[in-house]
Amino acid sequence: MDSTTLVSDMIADGNLVATELRAAGFDVTAAAWLKRAEDGLWRLFVISAVAESQRPKDAYGQMLPLIRKIEGLNRIDPHEVRLIGPNHHLAKLVIAHQRKFGSLATTSMPWIDQSLAGPAYESAYLYPLPS
């Protein structure tokens, strides 16, 4: 993304990606926007078991065509979506934060203590975990 501000279009697009991937049968354990500290850019992360059960090329090969089919995306380039498995350190922190704070975790907030994402990320927007 070329914006240092997470805008409503990006939030809506991230929600649409997570919802439509799930509807297509693609596992989405969680989804979140994370803002990189070094350049201030937001990245959409999809947390999925597919990332751990397949080689990266194959996992992205499943996900990217599904994202390209989604109508109404305004601010997401499918190739900028990051796919990580539930055992990845960022995924574990995102899921733990969502479980701890519930609906509060769905708001954009800076984690000054860097407890969620470590030194590489400074802010996050977490979508609710699927029920």
Of residues 129 and 26, which shows the higher confidence score? Answer: 26
Domain that holds residue 90: 8-126
Residue 131 lies in a domain: no
Of residues 83 and 121, which shows the higher confidence score? Answer: 83
Residue 2 lies in a domain: no
Predicted structure pTM score: 0.85
Residue 50 lies in a domain: yes
**Dihedral class, residue 55 (left if φ above 0, else alpha if ψ from -120 to 50, else beta):** beta
Q: Residue 14's closest CA among 78, 63, 57?
A: 78
Residue 96 lies in a domain: yes
Residue 72 lies in a domain: yes
Contact 46, 31 (CB under 8 A): yes
Residue 19 lies in a domain: yes
Structural domain count of the chain: 1
pLDDT of residue 11 exceeding 80: yes
- The set of residues, in sequence order, having a beta carbon less than 8 Å from that of 55 and lying 6+ positions away, is none
What are the pLDDT digits (tens) for 58-82?
999 999 999 999 999 988 889 889 9
